[in-house]
Amino acid sequence: MKIIDDKLMNDLAEEAKKSPRLKKNCLECLETKPTKDIYLAGGCFWGTEHYFKQIKGVAITEVGFANGHTENPTYKEVYTDTTGFAETVFVRFYPDVVSLEFLLQMFFKAIDPTSLNKQGHDEGTRYRTGVYYTDPADLPIIEKVFAEEQKNYEQPLAVEKLPLQNFYTAEDYHQDYLDKNPDGYCHLPLSLFEFARKASH
């Protein structure tokens, strides 16, 4: 069994403090292989999370609220569009299985990147699209994918590209929502989930 050093154990403890739901997953990630994180806002987080869960190489997903200006917001508070938060999916992935570039390319297939504050029937600043990174070394890859996507549109992309300022986990009933409620609302077509399952890097 691989021995985890004190620093990694401390990191694990911090992860558990942020989200008890991640506690059992963090140890598994640390004991197996290196992971990276990215935060993706693609409209309603129920469908966006389910979409990324289908992609091989994604280790953990969690829905929450990113880059707002209040602390510990509730879903009801974010819904008012007064907190500045965007519904966002935290994605932890294995970079030796799936690359950040591929995940971002898949992200753009699940959004209308020219639509400001609106995806599907969902409208409001909480439904804005964005890519929020924690590692500055990821920025060149993000910018490359954005530049490639921009070539497909005459109008400018309405997708944010920013460092992650903050992220708060959403209430438990929002987590894995479409697994718990297979017939629940989703702004994404079912065919897109099948596409994600079959997609290969």
Q: Is residue 86 within 8 Å of residue 96, measured between CB atoms?
A: no
Q: Is residue 83 within 8 Å of residue 77, measured between CB atoms?
A: yes
Is 186 assigned a catalytic role? no
Q: Is residue 68 within 8 Å of residue 81, measured between CB atoms?
A: no
Q: Which of 26, 29, 44, 186 is catalytic?
A: 44
Q: Is residue 106 within 8 Å of residue 113, measured between CB atoms?
A: no
Please compute Rg for the chain using Cα positions: 16
Measured CA distances, 83 to 5, 44, 95, 100, 163 (Å): 39, 16, 33, 29, 18
The catalytic residues are 44
